[in-house]
Structures are given as structure tokens and as C-alpha cells.
A = this chain, B = another copy of it.
Amino acid sequence: MTAAKDRVRLWLRLLKVVRGIEYEVRDKLRREHNTTLPRFDVMSALSRHPEGLKMSRLSGVLRVSNGNVTGIADRLSDEGLVERVAVPGDRRATVLRLTAAGQTEFASQARAHEDWINQMLSGVSAEDARAMAARLHAFAAATEAQNQTSEKEDAHAQ
């Protein structure tokens, strides 16, 4: 079955490329912005929801466990970048949202992030980028149909 081998090869290639880029992004976030990818991901999700997100919704969006988000929120909160807001009418829940300082800080990080990606992928033409994105979109839809994780937002978009 050569198709099976081709698919595995594709997977290994995808993994290598993505891990390589992710490695660079983590490194630059740490060196140039004194933060980490998980923290960036949390702030990115919050920046797309200015009214804030409930903790459980946030962990759902990012596809990580509840306890994980608790810890990251604690640390971001200690630094004044996010804040926990009580939800009126439900004393169990909390909404997490960016503070003004968090918004400013994330805007700077997001700008840099876009530049890094653009530079790292500078060898890919706009046409190639569109073609690959389309192909990936097609089979993302296919593989997601097999599973049931449809309504999750992507964790990383800005």
C-alpha cells in the first residue's frame, strides 16, 4: 500500500515543519517579549473576545484542560495582564478578560508574531500559500468530520 506510506511521509513532514516554526516562535516570544506560547495563546483568545471568556469556554477554545488554564490565568493575573470578573447570576463562574495593559502588551506581541511568520514563510509565494491553505482546509474538514470536534475555534488566530 503505497498510499499509506505517502500519507505517513506527509504527516512526518507536516510535523517537522510545524515543530520547527513553533520552536522559533517560542524562542522569540521568550527572548523578545518575556512570555511563552501558552500565555500568548490565552491572550490571543481573549483579544478576540473583548468582553472576556468564561474559564471553561477558554479551555474549550484552546483545547486544553481546565486546570491548565487556571494556572496560566493566575500568572497572567499576577502580572496585571488579565483579570477575573464575577459573572452576575452565577457565583460558580468567572470571566477572564484582558486588562488595558494586557491589550497593549498583546497588540505588540501580535504584530511581532505576524512579522515572524511572514519572514519564516518568505520562501512561499502568495499563490503557493493560498493553494496549500486550501488543500489543508479541505482535509482538515475531512478529518474533523471523522471526529466530533467541530465547533472549536482555532487556538491561535489573531
Nearest B residue to A9, CB-CB: B133
Choose the segment among A90-98, A99-107, A112-120 that binds chain B (4+ C-beta atoms closer than 8 Å): A112-120
Given contacts A6-B130, A139-B17, contact A157 B123 (CB under 8 A): no
Nearest B residue to A141, CB-CB: B123
Residues of B within 8 A of A2 (CB): 126
Given contacts A7-B117, A142-B123, contact A14 B14 (CB under 8 A): yes
Q: Which of B3, B117, B123, B137 contacts A11 (CB 8 A)?
A: B117
Residues of B within 8 A of A128 (CB): 135, 139
Residues of B within 8 A of A132 (CB): 10, 13, 132, 135
> Which of under 10, 10 to 19, 20 to 34, or 35 or more describes the interface residues of A?
35 or more
Contact B143 A21 (CB under 8 A): yes
Choose the segment among A50-58, A69-77, A78-86, A147-155 that binds chain B (4+ C-beta atoms closer than 8 Å): A147-155
Interface residues of A (CB under 8 A from B): 1-4, 6-24, 63, 114, 117-126, 128-130, 132-133, 135-140, 142-144, 146-147, 149, 154-158
Please give 17 more A-B residue pairs, beta carbons under 8 A apart, in addition to A12-B156, A121-B139, A123-B138.
A3-B125, A8-B114, A8-B158, A13-B132, A13-B136, A14-B17, A14-B21, A15-B156, A17-B140, A18-B18, A19-B63, A20-B140, A20-B143, A120-B143, A120-B146, A121-B143, A128-B139
